[in-house]
Structure 1
């Protein structure tokens, strides 16, 4: 314990030192507590998934798959309602706890300002990663003409499955797990690295319920294989979540991650083995592709396959080298990694 001051001047010096130590130098408490950010994130995840099992119109069964048009329509309504609830609650918390203005809230949610340049650079980055699959689908399978004319896009969006996979899913999921959950963790004092590797776990957990749906529609599949399938899905959704969180923090733009999400859903998983144009068993990517003539003769030689795998590796390397340059933005959120 320090000795008592001997004069009024010593007393003021001691008081100033106390202020410097305990008040001026003390960090400000976070606007949102870490516990509140975690609980709200868990709440948003549950509210997003739970309505799928509360109604017979959305609840999967052996006689009603998640791809049935009636089920998709009902789930779209449920997701819309849960998203509106989550957005309203987040805006309320940001305004009351962090005392942010409307402009600051829109900025933190990645809604404003809109940056088409950042979105274009993000799509270019994802296209580099998918250089191999783009080559296979566009050149080997001959879809490039449909992409240019837009016919394939129009047909896809006219279906309920396409509308779910490329519009409702990406928009609602990126709003919840990036635009809402990440700002809460920013205000809770989490570092950018913690946010990038922590928040996507909620996104991965939200997809675990597909195990139950898969078991209903594929009762003869062994449980072990179903668990492996669910683990694989959790892994790649979390990996995409890491990337999406990184992009959102670096660009402060929710539209970039929505477009990237839709693009990745459209491309599917890349081929990691086999010959291009030949699908052994159930195809990994978009179904309905074949490089066989009516007589069964292959029309593409091994050079095409070699080109695909060269592009696949080159795309991964290019993605690594361009990850920071193509996500550089003046709209980055506070604490974005450099």
Structure 2
């Protein structure tokens, strides 16, 4: 089967007049399987003493991370096998079509690079703060920050285990199910990430277990915030997956966002908490000597940072479709004919 015919068949899973008219799962079945796969990913955390947190051992303990890594790896293998069986049984797909739906092949390096560029545009403010204001660009060039992060179990979890396993389950496994159910790309983008957000709600229990001194309301608000930004990232990752057809592009975006962390939306830039402002002071570490800026420098950096946040958000909006365009796309989003721009809703 020619590549064009194969992509046409894959895209027929969600078109209004599909080539495949029988043996396709229903949206309810896709939702039930998604809940089951999400449960398979999270439930093993609490079935074993080695993965279950306690008041004396939290989720960041190396032994817990290692055990959970084994558990989620097993979950990825199991859910992927089940997914492949469903795709072949109900989608009547060939092996090549199946690996295309799973985002495994082809490995589009250009799509990965453009996705990282898009993420860099969105995070231009935090990158400015970390790289220019705090002088982190020296560590970026030498690669010391990445090496130090990966040398710790928490860093390895954030940059490797989380992005790889979560994108396998919540993008590579769940999205093909929704394509088989003939859901529109728009619905997939806004629905499938909710399972990703729900999968993080168990952190409320873990946080309360290891931080009993924190009142319930702040803990709940913390979890709501986490659900919100994980779901928002899930929207983006699902969009990237459908637009590029690349699981690796979604993984790269996930790892990049974890590396950057949640952007600040308040406070002054370039001033350590409790550091004097006005006369200037000196902070020393192992590699460098950093001068705490005077008030005028701090204000200038702060203005630049928040300006870049706005510029980055606008740039992200403008470049969202151009930088995710790929000939290997699994979905075509509707065009807004009136405005001459692409949009989610058709």
Question: Which category of TM-score, normalised to the shorter sequence, fits these structures?
Answer: 0.7 to 0.9
Which runs of 5 or more structure 1 residues have no equivalent in the other structure? 1-23, 282-290
How far off is 1:25 after superposition?
11
Instruction: Give the match for residue 130 of structure 1.
Output: 123
Deviation above 3 Å: which 4+ runs of structure 1? 24-27, 278-281, 294-298, 334-338
8 Å Cα contact 2:102-2:173 kept in structure 1: yes
Q: 2-side partners of 1:101 and 1:258: how far apart? A: 25
**Quick one: which of 318, 323, 337 aligns to 1:321?**
318
What TM-score do you get using the length of structure 1 for normalisation? 0.86
Q: How does 1:9-158 map to 2 (within 5 A)?
A: 28-29=21-22, 31-158=24-151
| Paired residue secondary structure (2:227) | helix
Matched residue SS, 1:330: coil
CA distance in 2, matches of 1:112, 1:225: 44
Tell me if structure 2 keeps the 8 A contact 1:45–1:206: yes
Distance 2:201 2:51 in 1: 17
Tell me the SS of whatever aligns to 2:41.
helix
Secondary structure (helix, strand or coil) at the match of 1:182 reads helix
State the match for 2:231 in structure 1.
238
Deviations 1:222-254 (A, max 9, x none): 111111111111000000000111111111001
Residue number in structure 1 paired with 2:329: 332
Deviation at 1:292, TM superposition (A): 5.8
User: Structure 1 residues 311, 30: closer, same or farther in 2, change over 3 A?
Assistant: farther
Contact 1:58 1:74 in 2 (8 A): yes
For structure 1, which segment, 104-113 or 27-36, has the greater mean C-alpha deviation from structure 2 after superposition?
Answer: 27-36
Deviation at residue 334 of structure 1 after TM alignment: 3.7
Structure 1 residues 335 and 328: alpha-carbon distance in aligned structure 2, compared to 1, 3 A threshold: closer
CA distance in 1, matches of 2:142, 2:211: 38
1:309 to 2:306 alignment: yes
1:220 aligns with 2:220: no
Q: TM-score, normalised by structure 2?
A: 0.84
Cα distance 1:216–1:278, how it changes in 2: closer, same or farther (>3 A)? farther
1:189 aligns with 182
- How many angstroms apart in 2 are the aligned matches of 1:171 and 1:211? 23
CA contact (8 A) 1:133 1:308 kept: yes
Equivalent residue number for residue 339 of structure 2: none
Partner Cα separation in structure 1 for residue 144 and residue 81 of structure 2: 38
Query: Partner of 1:156: helix, strand, or coil?
Result: helix
Q: CA offsets, 1:268-294, max 9 Å, x none? A: 01111111133559xxxxxxxxx9624
Residue 297 of structure 1 deviates from its aligned partner by 7.6
- Alpha carbons of 1:219 and 1:195: their partners in 2 closer, same or farther (altered >3 Å)? same
User: CA separation in 1, counterparts of 2:273 and 2:23?
Assistant: 54
d(CA) in 1 for partners of 2:332, 2:205: 39
Aligned residue in 1 for 2:264: 271
Query: Deviation at 1:310?
Result: 1.1
- Quickly say closer, same or farther: Cα 1:200–1:231, change in 2 above 3 A: same
In 2, Cα distance between equivalents of 1:93 and 1:322: 35
- Compared CA separation, residues 194 and 155, structure 1 to 2 (3 A): same
Shift of 1:42: 0.6
Find the aligned partners of 1:94 and 1:157 in 2 and give their Cα distance: 35
Alignment partners' CA distance in 1, 2:104 and 2:249: 10
State the match for 2:292 in structure 1.
298
Shift of 1:30: 6.1
Q: Which residue of 2 aligns with 1:286?
A: none
Cα distance in 2, alignment partners of residues 55 and 168 from structure 1? 19
Root-mean-square deviation (CA, aligned residues, Å) is: 2.1
